[in-house]
Structure 1
Amino acid sequence: MGATVALQKAFVPKFGLDLAGGTTVTLSPVMANGKTPSQESLDRAVTIIRQRVNGTGISDAQVAKSNDNIVIQIPGAGRDEALRLVSTTAELRMRQVLAVAAATNQPAQVPTAAPTPSGSAAATPATTPGTSAPAGESAAPNGNATPAGRALSKALTAPSPEPTTSERAGNHRKAGAGAARANRAKASPSAAAPSPTPTAAPQDTGDPLAGQDTSGIDPALLTEFRKIDCTAKNRGQGAIDDPNKQIVACSDDGSARYILDKAAVQGTEISGAQSGTDPTTGEWIVQVDFKSKGATQFADITRRITSLPAPRNQLANVLDGVVIVAPTIEEAIPGGSARISGSFTQTTATELADQLKYGALPLKFQQSSVVSVSSTLGQDQLKGGLIAGALGLIVVMIYLLLYYRGLGLIGIASLCVATVFTYLTVDVLSHNAGFRLSLPHIIGLVVSIGITADSFIVYFERIRDEIKEGHRTLRSAVEVAWRRARRTIMVADAVMFIAAVVLFFLAVGDVAGFAFAMGLTTLIDIVVVFLFTKPLMSLVARLRFFSKGHKLSGLDAERMGRTSPADQTLQEA
């Protein structure tokens, strides 16, 4: 635990909304014709948003209804990704790509011929800054400049709609074993090679659909596709697209525009999603599992498009009307699961997985207000809470010394170990599991001091009872007392832990935070008692100071209630 903290150089836990401030977002439902949203839909939206921003239940994010609005309190500053997460509808569709082009229309270019240094001429297009790529090169942005998995189709670089075998090998990564992999388009070497003789390249018409198969596409969409500028598109919340219609959509990075067929698989058919890394490449991916119907639909669409020419062998994953990734499918993918890969980071992969896992919002929302929350009051309360905890710990230590004397030192050492272990646990959870320390957590940790001390007292009293009988040495009393005391300790901690778990799952907000802290410290109490207090007690039982019943040991004859120390058998075995 300590090594983890040291390696991560994270010595201070992250604080919750009341201690570190944060952002309060108010979402208002957008309804057609001014209708009022149903309470059922609002309740479902609250549940989904709460799961997204506080899926583990320990991040201190709070979600609640306020009339017809939803108020979300997110701890920490600069949480733009969380704001996008809570407001997006997250409705996934899987659609076949019918056409693809660069994000904006490119001006037509007329290349001119230029001699080569060797004396033979090659076609060298004239180009000026800000114009499109020269003929013979891809009209798409360079593959290294745009996220992998969102690159354009080979249809942009070759006039023929049917790519050659060598082109397919150079441009596509195979999707197999239940994986839908990203299409990483690269310019064909032959397409960019200069001609051995002086020649002029054909004039670029500037039509984004030039050389592409437009059969089966709604004419109105062709017009919209030619006009749309994806670089200027507002990518806020996205839009709820009609799954039963063809659509024009942009990639989420603004590098490409698509014409997409009707939805082949909808997000309602997803049973689960999780982020992770590809064991082969190490890149971040999102694993999607389908329900029975969705698995059949996914297998059917991948089987149908696998033999089609580019770009119609691509299957776009569309989230709220925006193309997240459009991988090329080269073989049917049965089995009911797929992998979405692209230029994901850990944050973006986790965000997408959470959106898909927790489902789509039943309503579309707009952010009616975003307010920063100050932490000034919280810092004062934090100081007060820490002072109260320190005072409580000191009082318990003084009591242990006065009542148990030398034996109380073992209790104090156990309390110190429990305190350090608790802090390290909170710190590790904070930096690795989204935990944020708030005032309810601090209250729960302070209250747990008494719970932890109870376990030591039960054990110590059991040892003294065994010695009072006068038939056992300290060594044997320690072992016999432990066998009897641990049952009582386990029962007491089990009752406390069950109460904390029930309270955590039935309550929300501050009460849930208090329950989490109480349950955490109950588990730590068991670890410390079993792995530290008992072994330490077995060691000190060998010391003459304790085994001979020194007056300051807490185990002397007078404190044990024996009238004649000479009659006692308190000695080493």
Structure 2
Amino acid sequence: MAPTPGSIRPWRHLALFVVVVAGLYSLVFFTGDRNPKPKLGIDLEGGTRVTLTARTETGQPPTKEQLNLARQIIDARVNGLGVAGAEVVQDGSNLTITVPGDQGQKAKDLAQTAQLRLRPVIEALQVEPPQEAPPSGGAPASGRSGAPAPRGPGSAGPHGDAIALPGEPLPGEPAAAGSAQGQAAPPKPTPHPHAPKQPNPTPPPPAPPADAAQQGVADPELAKAIAVEKTKRQSTNPQVQGRAAQELVCGPNDVLKGYDDPKKPLVTCDQQGTEKYLLGESIIEGTEIANASANYDQRGAGYVVNLTFKAAGAQVWGDFTTKNVGKRAAFVLDTQVVSAPTINEPILGGNTQISGRFGQAESTQLAGVLKYGSLPLSFATSDAQTVSATLGLASLQAGLIAGAIGLALVFVYCLFYYRALGVLTILSLGLSGVIVYAVLVLLGRSIGFTLDLAGVAGFIISIGITADSFVIYFERLKDEVREGRSFRAAVPRAWIRARRTILSADAVSFLASAVLYLLAVGQVRGFAFTLGMSTVLDLVVVFLVTHPLVALAANSKLFSSPTWSGLGAVARIGAARRRAAAAAAKGV
């Protein structure tokens, strides 16, 4: 005998749902940080909001195209660096980055100009630490305080820098017989052929203010300070270069940051402020980098950054390393030297590795800004503040109370109108909440999804969508009973009619959520995401829970009773129709 269309084996569906829930919660409790809580957005958890003020070399306000491009690049860095729940918003001539939780430092790192250039090293001078003043009447033991001194042939740089093909040994490690291609040797000084002797000590002129980069976008003093620094530190005159190296004070607040001329030499420092460099013209721009990634050095020397150049950049880099074996090249990021290794052999193919005893955070941050491009503008952090979650938690509490009241009203209505079937509705909604919670936790770990107030609103609205699926099914069931079928016979037929309607309604809801997610920005996208996710999970609950439970209820005397099932009125109509049909058949 062929099975009735729409009939199922309910225990199999329920067992499949149990397996799905068990699998999800196994991932929740036994993977990741094992913290069974979803990540919260800045309006619920608090966080950091950083306002970036754009500055230009001329002191004029930036164009809309520059600001929009900068916002897109920073937004790409947000995704690339794994900063969960961050939001980048353009506000006039400013960009505001909002980061939830304790990731405030990442928000500041995202605004790095990241103009990477490769320059040849003409001369390197090591900065001596300041010496204590000698006793009265005495003289310094050697040299001047803070004066740069040439590095000796055997001295090691502060970075332990190396250029190598990925997988090659670093300097100081044993290598196979014969020098490997791209292997780096310990850095050696390369004196300038026309470098002047150190002049007699003279009082240095007043340096530009350290906070010059913090001034406004239309500050003429900033433009003037940049021009002065360019004149001194990018001169082609060896005497001016030597004087600029003596007067340069290494530090993080470099007014020339992002505004050096790649077609001129450059006097600068490394990022640690322990070495000064005289660099030649830029040979390769950072735009020639195709990809950058941070990886752990298998030799146990910390983390390294692997670079892959585009075709044109790889050709230039290969020619340069071929002609300059034994010389040094500097990776210059925002006018500061990140690494200045010695070229031991030609590096062909464009695959290059930067090592500088990086930590994980430093290498990841550097690889991210190099991979996602240079900003068209330089930014100063004009405001950074911590956002409290007090207001958001109060709003969340009010929203949850409103949602609980609405859910309670749905339960009361279902119990009053559907009676025993209403109990199945309540049970299905509860199981839906169980699976939604597990998915939220896993999404927070895997893609950094954060739950904010807009997302909570999406979940509350999804309760109505899930309840609609139950109503459609139960009303189809009542139609079948009204036509004279028993509860047991009506269940499979009602499911066939309701299934198509449920699928169509959820498809429309999901499509609307997807379009809203693609077109919207900010918290509206969180609302669209949670609404679409809840719509998909609604189908899982209806197919694996609600339908099987109703099929089991059809075999129960309690649920089949017209008094308890809520089908009493339609059952009486159906009985009357059956008697009328029987009487008509006898009359025939």
**What is the TM-score when the length of structure 2 is the normalising length?**
0.69
Closer/same/farther in 2, CA of residues 44 and 269 from structure 1, 3 Å limit:
same
For residues 172 and 375 of structure 1, the distance between their equivalents in structure 2, rounded to whole angstroms, comes to 61
| Aligned partner (choices 89, 95, 105) of residue 80 of structure 1 | 105
For residues 506 and 93 of structure 1, the distance between their equivalents in structure 2, rounded to whole angstroms, comes to 37
Q: Deviations over 1:263-318 (max 9, x none)?
A: 3332333455555668998976656555xxx3232243135415854443xx5433
**Aligned partner letter, 1:19:** L
Q: Tell me the equivalent position of 2:469.
A: 455
Q: Tell me the equivalent position of 2:73.
A: 48
Please state how far the C-alpha of 1:450 moved relative to its aligned partner: 0.6
**Higher deviation after alignment, 394-403 or 263-272:** 263-272
| Aligned partner (choices 289, 292, 296) of residue 312 of structure 2 | 296
* 1:317 aligned counterpart, secondary structure: strand
Q: Deviations over 1:359-380 (max 9, x none)?
A: 3222112222223333332221
Matches within 5 A, 1:464-479: 464-470=478-484, 474=488, 477-479=490-492
Q: Tell me the equivalent position of 1:21.
A: 46
Q: Deviations over 1:59-84 (max 9, x none)?
A: 44343344333333333346123112
* 1:70 aligned counterpart, secondary structure: strand
Q: Tell me the equivalent position of 2:93.
A: 68
For residues 251 and 338 of structure 1, the distance between their equivalents in structure 2, rounded to whole angstroms, comes to 20
* 1:263 aligned counterpart, secondary structure: coil
For residues 174 and 487 of structure 1, the distance between their equivalents in structure 2, rounded to whole angstroms, comes to 70
CA RMSD of aligned residues (A): 4.6
Please state how far the C-alpha of 1:232 moved relative to its aligned partner: 4.4
For residues 486 and 416 of structure 2, the distance between their equivalents in structure 1, rounded to whole angstroms, comes to 25
| Aligned partner (choices 412, 419, 427) of residue 426 of structure 2 | 412
**Higher deviation after alignment, 22-31 or 280-289:** 280-289
| Aligned partner (choices 551, 560, 566) of residue 563 of structure 2 | 551
| Counterpart contact for 2:42–2:452, Cα < 8 Å | yes
Sequence identity, in percent?
A: 38
**Higher deviation after alignment, 400-409 or 446-455:** 400-409
* 2:538 aligned counterpart, secondary structure: helix
Q: Deviations over 1:197-218 (max 9, x none)?
A: xxxxxxxxxxx94xx3545996
Q: Tell me the equivalent position of 1:332.
A: 347
* 1:562 aligned counterpart, secondary structure: helix
For residues 268 and 289 of structure 1, the distance between their equivalents in structure 2, rounded to whole angstroms, comes to 11
2:266 matched to 1:247? Answer: yes
For residues 57 and 235 of structure 1, the distance between their equivalents in structure 2, rounded to whole angstroms, comes to 28
**Aligned partner letter, 2:160:** A
Q: Tell me the equivalent position of 1:151.
A: 160
**Higher deviation after alignment, 497-506 or 439-448:** 497-506
| Aligned partner (choices 436, 439, 442) of residue 456 of structure 2 | 442
Q: Tell me the equivalent position of 1:10.
A: 35
| Counterpart contact for 1:101–1:140, Cα < 8 Å | no
Q: Deviations over 1:233-266 (max 9, x none)?
A: 5479943433223334444344555454433332
For structure 2, the residue ranges without an aligned partner over 5 or more in a row are 1-23, 132-145, 164-169, 196-235, 581-588
| Aligned partner (choices 556, 574, 578) of residue 562 of structure 1 | 574
2:159 matched to 1:140? Answer: no
Please state how far the C-alpha of 1:220 moved relative to its aligned partner: 5.6
2:413 matched to 1:399? Answer: yes
For residues 301 and 488 of structure 1, the distance between their equivalents in structure 2, rounded to whole angstroms, comes to 63
Please state how far the C-alpha of 1:384 moved relative to its aligned partner: 0.6
**Aligned partner letter, 1:92:** L
Count of residue pairs the alignment pairs up: 491
* 2:331 aligned counterpart, secondary structure: strand
**Aligned partner letter, 1:412:** I
Closer/same/farther in 2, CA of residues 300 and 62 from structure 1, 3 Å limit:
closer
* 1:369 aligned counterpart, secondary structure: strand
| Aligned partner (choices 508, 519, 523) of residue 506 of structure 1 | 519
Q: Tell me the equivalent position of 1:91.
A: 115
**Higher deviation after alignment, 358-367 or 480-489:** 480-489
Please state how far the C-alpha of 1:27 moved relative to its aligned partner: 2.3
For residues 399 and 11 of structure 1, the distance between their equivalents in structure 2, rounded to whole angstroms, comes to 33
Closer/same/farther in 2, CA of residues 236 and 458 from structure 1, 3 Å limit:
farther
* 1:362 aligned counterpart, secondary structure: coil
Please state how far the C-alpha of 1:353 moved relative to its aligned partner: 4.1
Q: Tell me the equivalent position of 2:286.
A: 267
For residues 289 and 308 of structure 2, the distance between their equivalents in structure 1, rounded to whole angstroms, comes to 6
For residues 464 and 253 of structure 1, the distance between their equivalents in structure 2, rounded to whole angstroms, comes to 77
For residues 554 and 243 of structure 1, the distance between their equivalents in structure 2, rounded to whole angstroms, comes to 81
Matches within 5 A, 1:125-136: none
2:364 matched to 1:364? Answer: no
For residues 73 and 331 of structure 1, the distance between their equivalents in structure 2, rounded to whole angstroms, comes to 45
**Aligned partner letter, 1:562:** G
| Aligned partner (choices 279, 282, 305) of residue 321 of structure 2 | 305
Closer/same/farther in 2, CA of residues 518 and 392 from structure 1, 3 Å limit:
same
2:508 matched to 1:495? Answer: yes
Closer/same/farther in 2, CA of residues 484 and 71 from structure 1, 3 Å limit:
same
**Aligned partner letter, 1:295:** A
Closer/same/farther in 2, CA of residues 451 and 352 from structure 1, 3 Å limit:
farther
* 2:374 aligned counterpart, secondary structure: coil
**Aligned partner letter, 2:113:** T
**Aligned partner letter, 1:21:** G
**Higher deviation after alignment, 445-454 or 461-470:** 461-470
| Counterpart contact for 1:91–1:360, Cα < 8 Å | yes
For residues 434 and 297 of structure 1, the distance between their equivalents in structure 2, rounded to whole angstroms, comes to 34
Q: Tell me the equivalent position of 1:425.
A: 439
Q: Deviations over 1:148-187 (max 9, x none)?
A: xx41479xxxxxxxxxx996845999988xxx89x6959x
| Counterpart contact for 1:90–1:361, Cα < 8 Å | yes
| Counterpart contact for 1:104–1:228, Cα < 8 Å | no
Please state how far the C-alpha of 1:508 moved relative to its aligned partner: 1.8
2:52 matched to 1:31? Answer: no
**Aligned partner letter, 2:538:** D
Q: Deviations over 1:441-474 (max 9, x none)?
A: 2111111111122223223333444454445773
For residues 536 and 465 of structure 2, the distance between their equivalents in structure 1, rounded to whole angstroms, comes to 11
| Counterpart contact for 2:330–2:339, Cα < 8 Å | yes
* 1:262 aligned counterpart, secondary structure: coil
Please state how far the C-alpha of 1:24 moved relative to its aligned partner: 3.0
Closer/same/farther in 2, CA of residues 401 and 325 from structure 1, 3 Å limit:
farther
Matches within 5 A, 1:531-546: 531-546=544-559
| Counterpart contact for 1:221–1:259, Cα < 8 Å | no
For structure 1, the residue ranges without an aligned partner over 5 or more in a row are 108-129, 155-164, 187-207, 569-573
For residues 456 and 84 of structure 2, the distance between their equivalents in structure 1, rounded to whole angstroms, comes to 14
| Counterpart contact for 2:562–2:571, Cα < 8 Å | no
For residues 56 and 418 of structure 1, the distance between their equivalents in structure 2, rounded to whole angstroms, comes to 33
**Aligned partner letter, 2:25:** G
| Counterpart contact for 1:99–1:214, Cα < 8 Å | yes
For residues 275 and 245 of structure 1, the distance between their equivalents in structure 2, rounded to whole angstroms, comes to 31
* 2:73 aligned counterpart, secondary structure: helix
Closer/same/farther in 2, CA of residues 235 and 483 from structure 1, 3 Å limit:
farther
Please state how far the C-alpha of 1:409 moved relative to its aligned partner: 2.6
| Counterpart contact for 1:17–1:375, Cα < 8 Å | yes
| Aligned partner (choices 393, 407, 412) of residue 379 of structure 1 | 393
Please state how far the C-alpha of 1:430 moved relative to its aligned partner: 3.1
| Counterpart contact for 1:105–1:226, Cα < 8 Å | no
Please state how far the C-alpha of 1:525 moved relative to its aligned partner: 2.0
Q: Deviations over 1:527-569 (max 9, x none)?
A: 33334334444454454544x446323456755742269979x
Q: Deviations over 1:458-515 (max 9, x none)?
A: 23333444454445773x6544544443332232222222222222232222322322
| Counterpart contact for 1:172–1:185, Cα < 8 Å | no
Closer/same/farther in 2, CA of residues 273 and 153 from structure 1, 3 Å limit:
closer
**Aligned partner letter, 1:553:** S
Closer/same/farther in 2, CA of residues 32 and 305 from structure 1, 3 Å limit:
closer
